[in-house]
Structure 1
Amino acid sequence: MSFPHEIQSALLFDTPVRHLEAVMRSFVQIETARTGVGYNLVEAKPGVFYRLFGGGEVMVTLEYVAAPAKAEVFRQPVESAITRIYCPDMPDRLRRHSSHILINVSHGALSSTPEIDKMLDQIGYVRPGTTLEQFMRRIEVCTLLSRLAQDDVPASVVHWTQSNQLFPGDMFEMIAQGAPPSPLHVHPYLFGGGQSPGGKALAGIRTFGAGHFIDREILIEPSELPWAANYETILAFLRVATTRNGYIIPDGDTFGPEDGSLSYRVRHRPATDDDVALYELEPLLHREYGFQADSYVPRERTFDDRSAPADVMPAAANERAELLDEWQAKRALAEGIGGRFEVRARNPEPGATPPPSQPTGFGVRRIFGRKAG
């Protein structure tokens, strides 16, 4: 997949600031000491604009604008429910700011603009810097610069454009300490869905930013679970996908922690005329909130491809072999990230006989967490 070529942040201040050069110098000093690879200053307008190049083909620009940013840039994120939750006075902060610093981090010497990108697409040119590791590096550099820019003067607002989110400056400082993908990088657009039969308000989540790490955004349809609980599961799903040897949990499988405290089913929703392709997470179990869906398969019997009981296996030898091969491949994926693969089956009713060719009544789990010993 193609990861975003450019990472940008905008820091909004209530007063004029004059520390841009100090930010630039601190960044070069820290990066040189940490990585051993320095940056060259290739363009400068003292106090107003700096362009740096180095650090593994990374281009950095810092620009100070002694005027408010364009209000229309913030229209969508300021209307997001999550912004109102994080910072109820965000509209006032946006109205009162009087200056801002723009930070851009990209790969290579060629900048990214709609015109340039269109031209490169037309000639089939694939930009360098398109690995997950290089994308993470751009995020790391932009995060460091955005934190340094607040050392002397705290920002009133930080606009992190990769996820199109607005944060109070002090909240950004706290949230930026988490490794990606984190709440900084995944915008949870919340939407309502009425009430459950028990009168609980239903809330759904559709992400923006998750698709920059994997090939699709993520959806959780309106659920009676707290949105924050579902959001944490979204981040866990992303960590499984982006960790070393990580992978996207296959369509129809379920995953959860080893203690069995929660379980979610993953569905790969194809694109339609009305929407793009998505990964949907369906809550099945969340013990902390007393939630259990009708479709949840209890852990009455668990096994893997090496200990499958006969009563859940297809009767035909070729179908059994195909199913066991599939389970073995999935076990290898799960163990590759330090997790465990298991299959769950309901205990059969007395005298019941399973269908001869269909392994019904089982749920496949991928488990994130410590490796089972």
Structure 2
Amino acid sequence: MGITWVYDDAREAYQANTETVPSPGGRAPVNFLCPFCSSTFTEFSSMQRHASSQHQLRRPLLMWRGHEVGRERKIATPGEFKIANCTRAIISVDRAAEETIDIAKLEALLGSATNASVRVRLENRPDKKMAAAVSSYRLEFRIADTEALSQVEEAFQEYLVRAIPNPDRIRIFLEDPRCTGVGEEYASGLYAYVHALLLKEGAGDNGFISAYALHTERFGEALQKLEGMDRKLARSVCSLVRLIRNDLSGDGDPGLGQIGVAYDMLRGPDVYGASVRGSVPAGELPLCPIDHGTSRIIALANRLADADRWSAMLREECRTTASDALLHADDHRKVFAYWAVTALRLGDRGAARYALQQIASIYPFDGWASAALAGNGSP
């Protein structure tokens, strides 16, 4: 092992005593590059805000009658189709091979389809650097013409109106050739309504088609299938369903007779006026079966609509009906609404007070009932 000596010459000694080395300093600034353009940012959050505001990727939409259709949807009534946020459309009709189609042609094709199974895939890729947003739809078109709808209604009248509805008659109705093909969706909606009536009246206790535990769900299915069909029977059923469910989202229809009067009275004294009293023929023929509870409610509404003065007899009839344990709670609320509307229409605000108190905080009557209770409604 040896020892080595290192000597600094004069130049090295001079430099060591006269020059300083700068300190290394901190880390170099980090820049975040936008993945879709050349913009750079010193903060990641700024880059995120830029990407979300300047490079938005929206999901493509298939609209029908102003609303997006579901992932799977049966179309039973005609309507306009519109496509939004789409750069490429692919279609398959009746299980044929998929093909790319122009968006305008796709909208026209869907708008003219009547009896077909259509699969649609929409893609939106505004930038090649982006992954495409994709929406897929499966549409079953079963749009019946007037003749097919009339045949379904004939079978409905034959099996379920002129005869007492029961499980066997419902099965025969569904199996009737007039209720197949493009008319199947219409028949299915009518079936759901009658089934809901049987469930409501207790016919479901024997296990008959027990897929739904509550009749309200079947009423909702009937409304979904029949809503928008330009048929008097369909409009009557939809109004009945809304009446039974206290659903005031529908439009009034003077052509629905006693059903229309009972439905319009639920809207309050400002909507239902005295001018329509007595306009309903008493002997109108039934278009569809109605459960006993709803029949009783409709009859009460029309008797009150025809009344020209308030009396203790009307108050007692309303009180007795509203306290009937056999009626559903929704029917009790309808009675209170009819009671209040009639008393207010006939100028007896004191007689309406108790009924208004029962529904002033219950949707959908709370709007007009609370205002009338506070003295801001119609006299």
TM-score, scaled to structure 2: 0.29
TM-score, scaled to structure 1: 0.29
User: When you count helix as a share of all residues, which structure comes out higher?
Assistant: 2
Q: Relative contact order, CA 8 A, sep 6+: which one is greater?
A: 1
User: When you count strand as a share of all residues, which structure comes out higher?
Assistant: 1
